[in-house]
Amino acid sequence: MTPKERARRAAEAMMNGDLASRSVGITLVDVDEGTATMQMTVTQHHCNGHGVCHGGMSFTLADTAFAFACNSRNQSTLAQHNTITYLAPGRLGDVLTAVATEVNLAGRNGMYDVTVTNQDGTKIAEFRGISRAIKGRLFEE
């Protein structure tokens, strides 16, 4: 099995069980070893009292891309710590894309950067996630 095939199978297993991400409209665009791209269109139920995308929704999108990237090797992995910096508001109708990239992997610990942009390429947020591998696999191989 190639790393890309393993990442795809791990992503399928995760998406099947990820009701939270699916319920807010997050979809998988691409996945490979150590990287993942997710998208979400900002709808009315994503907007806060200021009429812009709630920061929690942008965070959820970034966190989901992070999760798919750090689980791409079929090793069960969870978030240990993460931070986000909001750079611009997402607006109603925007298509937000989160691209997660592995920065470092050492033993059971990983570091991932996620950039969230809109359809015009405007950076909405920068997220950094620290992961920790635990026992278990997403699928049998």
Per-residue pLDDT of the chain (141 residues; tens, 9 = 90+): 899 999 999 999 999 989 999 999 999 999 999 999 999 999 999 999 999 999 999 999 999 999 999 999 999 999 999 999 999 999 999 999 999 999 999 999 999 999 999 999 999 999 999 999 999 999 988
Residue 125 falls inside a structural domain: yes
**Residue 141 in domain:** no
Between 55-70 and 3-17, two packed helices, what is the crossing angle to 10 degrees?
Answer: 140
Query: How far is CA 99 from each of CA 43, 47, 113, rounded to the nearest angstrom?
Result: 20, 22, 8
CATH (domain of 51) = 3.10.129.10
> Is there a domain that residue 79 lies in?
yes
Structural domain including 17 reads 3-133
| 99 in any annotated domain | yes
Token pair listed for 117: 């942009």
The model's pTM is 0.95
Q: Give the pLDDT score at 65.
A: 98
Count of domains forming the chain: 1
